[in-house]
Amino acid sequence: MSDQKTDKMLQDGVSRRSVLGIGSAALAAAAFAGLSAHAQTREGAQKAEGDHSSSNPGQENKPLLAENPNSNTPPPTDFGDVGPIWYSYDLTKRRVQEGGWTHQVTQRELPSSTDLAGVNMRLTAGSFRELHWHTADEWAIMLYGNARVTLLNPDGTIFIDDVSKGDLWYFPAGFPHSIQGLGPDGCEFLLVFDQGMFSEDGTFLLSEFVAHTPPEVLAKNFGLPESALANFPTGPLYIFPADLPKSLEEDRAAVGGEKVRSSIQYTFKMEGMAPTKRTTGGEIRIVDSHNFPVSKNVAVAINTIKPGGMRELHWHPNASEWQFWMAGKGRMTVFMPVGSARTADFNANDVGFVPFNAGHYVENTGDTDLVFLELFKASEVLDVSLNQWIRRLPPEMVHSHLKLDKNAIQTIPAEKLEIVPR
């Protein structure tokens, strides 16, 4: 029987049983037993074809299967199609140049993600990501090491700062900037752009601007003889090695000191930031335009979840969610109308996606801390907590819907905890 036909039968069966008022546990078991295409064994479920239906006598990519148990053998609550919600930087082509490397996960790799695209980049000590600008806003988090960043404001003031692991920066579209790896071992960082189809190959490079301008025009513009421009690059530099810069103070002084210094702060030192919310299950830090004013079009929630802990059931009323998984492992289920759900597993270096308004949780399934980012193309992080919604309603209303005992309702957390206590 085709999957589609099975799904149709299941859907019909579910609606009939719902009308008959059968409890949700019995309903799940019945739905489960009816799912021959995804048959699994479970206590209380009718065995029917049982284990044999999920047997797989043909070819298998065993390393991928081992990483994705919830895709290969979905929980019986999964149903229908919510679209792609997973990709990994470790599936992409890495562009390696002398001085570092880069690779990207954009809408091309993860078609559901129309709002945001991500680039993961490494620069060795002294090496530059060439002076450039682009059409998208750039949000970034340092993943390793140290870097120096510069940005010129249209009013002629210049921002120069050093960043370390955990720090953020935000560069508005069109504002020219640079990134340089510092000692002892350069840096690695994640860039997130507020355009799904953004490409790291589509940026405006200083080297290409001068390479594609007639030399006599360059000479007239700079007020220099053409001979002085003889060593200009003739092609893109993009990433290239260089000597380590002077100290931050020396560089700031060399460009003109306080009188040309940007009054706008483009970096955010997250190292010293207290959690926005902390429970026994973990902690969450929210950085958006409320505490990092330049971050107008990208907002982030940084989650650290302890083994067994869980980001509570919630959704975001203002944007889709683009995730970057920094450490540990976990699983997420995404719920969409009509009755669709998809569960997937995630590991460090993976990208996750949650459609606009789709309900979801994230559970740490490993034995180390799970660290992941929730990113939104929005000026602020907004979420709706299922627990809080239930607790703000008259208990009778909740009981009518869920048949939940009134005493049990009172034990559900009434305040938004973000991460469920263990």
CA distance 252 to 250: 5
| Cβ at position 382, least distance to Mn ion in Å | 10
> Per-residue x/- mask for Mn ion, residues 371 to 410, rule CB under 5 A?
---x------------------------------------
> Per-residue x/- mask for Mn ion, residues 129 to 148, rule CB under 5 A?
---------x----------
CA distance 260 to 156: 7
Under the binding rule (CB under 5 A), the answer on residue 288 touching Mn ion is: no
Under the binding rule (CB under 5 A), the answer on residue 115 touching Mn ion is: no
CA distance 310 to 186: 34
CA distance 152 to 177: 7
| Cβ at position 200, least distance to Mn ion in Å | 8
374 as an active site residue: the answer is yes
| Cβ at position 179, least distance to Mn ion in Å | 7
70's CB contacts (< 8 A; 6+ apart) are 78, 331, 343, 344, 345
**Angle of helix 3-20 relative to helix 24-34, nearest 10 degrees?**
160
| Cβ at position 329, least distance to Mn ion in Å | 17
Size, binding site for Mn ion by CB under 5 A? 3
Binding part of the chain for Mn ion, among 151-159, 217-225, 269-277, 366-374 by CB under 5 A, reads 366-374
* DSSP category for residue 283: E
Nearer to Mn ion, 151 or 390 (CB): 151
| Cβ at position 120, least distance to Mn ion in Å | 13
297 to 326, contacts with Mn ion by CB under 5 A?
A: 321
Nearer to Mn ion, 10 or 286 (CB): 286
Binding part of the chain for Mn ion, among 25-33, 38-46, 255-263, 367-375 by CB under 5 A, reads 367-375
401's CB contacts (< 8 A; 6+ apart) are none
Amino acid at position 358, single letter: A
225's CB contacts (< 8 A; 6+ apart) are 219
69's CB contacts (< 8 A; 6+ apart) are 345
Label residues 375-390 b or e (16+ Cβ within 10 Å = b): bbbbbebebebebbeb
Binding part of the chain for Mn ion, among 21-29, 57-65, 106-114, 369-377 by CB under 5 A, reads 369-377
| Cβ at position 371, least distance to Mn ion in Å | 14
Sign of the alpha-carbon dihedral angle for 86, 88, 91, 96: positive
Nearer to Mn ion, 120 or 409 (CB): 120
Nearer to Mn ion, 32 or 170 (CB): 170
Query: Exactly one of 283, 321, 374, 418 is catalytic; which is it?
Result: 374
Report yes or no: 267 and 291 within 8 Å, Cβ to Cβ: no
Binding part of the chain for Mn ion, among 31-39, 161-169, 370-378, 404-412 by CB under 5 A, reads 370-378
Nearer to Mn ion, 157 or 199 (CB): 199
Strands 117-123 and 187-193: antiparallel
Query: Which has the closest alpha carbon to 329: 312, 348, 357?
Result: 348
Question: Which residues participate in catalysis according to the annotation?
Answer: 374
Residues that bind Mn ion (CB under 5 A): 138, 321, 374
